[in-house]
Chains A and B, each alone.
Chain A
Amino acid sequence: MASITILDPTNESKPATRELLQRPGSISGHTIGLLDISKPRGNVFLDRLEERLTERGAKVLRFAKPTFTKPAPVDLRHEISTQCTLVIEALAD
């Protein structure tokens, strides 16, 4: 699919790029998904993150992409979006 450029149909009062969501004030009580993109030793980083996040009151769920070379499958993204309130995607090497 080639990239496509279009003219903005709106009154341009919002930024052209999608806005980031507000950062949560605290992670306590959130369900945080940790997505391992399947690069070597990403799990080491995520294991440590899980420890630290759990200490601070978050519930942690672990996910992994089949391969780092391709986008996450639709089902996996859906699973994460329905189960988690926050997500951390880990890159490692």
Chain B
Amino acid sequence: MARTAPVLPEGLVVVVKRECATCQMVDPVLAELAATNIPLTVYTQDDPSFPPSVISHHDADLSISWHYDIETVPTVLKIENGQEIDRTIGWSKENWRNITGVHTLGEELPDMRPGCGSMSVDPDIVDALRARFTDSPVISRTIEFSTAEDEFEAMYARGWTDGLPVIPPTRERVLKMLTGTTRHPQDVVALCPPDLVELTIEKIAINAVMAGCLPEYLPWVIAALEAVCNDEFNMHGVLATTMPVGPVIVCNGPGTRAIGMNSGINTFGQGNRANNTIGRAVQLTVRNVGGGRPGEVDRATHGNPGKITFCFAEDEERSPFTPLSVERGVPQGVNAVTVFAGEGPRCVVDQLARTADELVNSYVACLLTVHHPKLVIGFDAILTVSPDHGRVFAEAGWTREKLIEEVTQRSLRPGTDLVRGAHGMAEGVPPHLESATLPKFRPGGLLVTYAGGGAGLFSSIVAGWANGKIGSDPVTRVVTA
């Protein structure tokens, strides 16, 4: 991606800066080298008058330092026929003598002293250097706000936000975001609903910047978008429905801990950057690239606050159950996201159950109310078991499969209870199911997860949207770098 690097002169090239004590220490060595017939070129990063003993070139824009990956000063490069054939960093008497061929060099100096950081890797300026010197394949249209415009107001006015402020996606910030993935900025991830626009890594990175993501979150955002932008998840329908659902993102794998996701106290709530910005980046991308905006394609009657962001990790280390991703076919230890078209979470209170048998009865009673007690099979749900409740199942030796099987069996209801008109409620299943016996959920329709703080005899239910071909199916995708 680098532009053609400036050509270095033949012979020895040394990069130094005044601010570095080791560079100051090697000044007499540079004078010794200058006195030989070896061609010597010294580049100084900060003070053009440094070093005092030799004439130097000022690498004022750090172009030499950037293009030749100078991470430490002093660095000595040996150039032959325009090619670097050797380099040494810091001060090592032995290495300097070897690379220069001057075997009496630096007699007075200690054997070794480490160098200092090059200005070209200073965290405060490295993003600007990357933007200046990289022929980046970033091709998005640029938009300049006038000096009289407040950029935060301008971005809101253009309809690019979820109602909360977003970070201005400058080229520097977007290029930095792109360091979070090995994928090419113009790779097309999916066709993004509802407008079915080719969704590139670059556009995702721009929206991830706006959402407040760090570069290491980007692969998770990409995977979540791959998971929502397809016919199975049906993001178009999830937007267009009048029901209050949006993509709920469940993250699994060791990477959740590496990027600092919260699977503990307040896991669904505010305060954790990774949880909140990954979910937000997905929604901003669908809004800005796909064109999915409330009042347009998004027709939700009430919506829910999770449509700004709803993303959490499973606490796999403490969970008595296999991770959700493993249940859905991803090998243990592999990072993955599962997306679910869900509404906001609701609490299941049972502070008295001490046996798995009692607790699952409470779960079933609450799960039966998902959307309507007389509607079954057509809606999926996520059940998030808390550590206090999880312990009850762990002590009873219940696996995920056992828990789901018990919920299924105990939720069976006769069609006479569910049919339209029964119990004085018009809502219900169609008349032809009157003689059937039906469980609350279809096979695979209950997604058990484990997360939450260490205190609280509560679990949580996230109800879904219409499932299957007429609605949305949960989708799992592996997260790749």
Chain A residues with CB under 8 Å of chain B are 1-13, 16, 18, 71
**Given the complex, which residues of B lie within 8 Å of A7, measured CB to CB?**
138, 140-143, 169-171, 174, 202, 206
Interface flags, B269-300, vs A, CB<8A=1, else 0: 00000000000000010001111000000000
Q: With A9-B207, A9-B210, A9-B284 given, is the CB distance from A3 to B141 under 8 Å?
A: no
Whole-angstrom CA separation of A6 from B131 in the bound complex: 13
B144 lies within 8 A of A3 (CB): yes
Whole-angstrom CA separation of A11 from B286 in the bound complex: 10
From DSSP, what is the main secondary structure of chain B's interface residues? mixed
Could you say which of A3, A4, A9 contacts B206, with CB atoms under 8 Å apart?
A: A9
B148 lies within 8 A of A4 (CB): no
Q: Which residue of B lies closest to A8 (CB)?
A: B141
Q: Which residue of B lies closest to A5 (CB)?
A: B144
B144 lies within 8 A of A9 (CB): no
> What are 8 sample pairs from A and B whose C-beta atoms fall under 8 A apart?
A4-B145, A7-B140, A7-B174, A9-B203, A9-B206, A10-B288, A11-B203, A13-B197
Whole-angstrom CA separation of A3 from B192 in the bound complex: 31
Report B179 CB to chain A, min CB distance, Å: 16
Q: With A1-B150, A6-B170, A71-B148 given, is the CB distance from A11 to B143 under 8 Å?
A: no
**Given the complex, which residues of B lie within 8 Å of A13, measured CB to CB?**
195, 197, 291
Q: With A1-B147, A3-B147, A4-B145 given, is the CB distance from A9 to B160 under 8 Å?
A: yes
Whole-angstrom CA separation of A54 from B186 in the bound complex: 57
Report B48 CB to chain A, min CB distance, Å: 27
Report B159 CB to chain A, min CB distance, Å: 9
Could you say which of B143, B160, B202, B288 contacts A5, with CB atoms under 8 Å apart?
A: B143
Could you say which of A2, A4, A12, A18 contacts B141, with CB atoms under 8 Å apart?
A: A12
**Given the complex, which residues of B lie within 8 Å of A8, measured CB to CB?**
140-143, 206
**Given the complex, which residues of A lie within 8 Å of B284, measured CB to CB?**
9
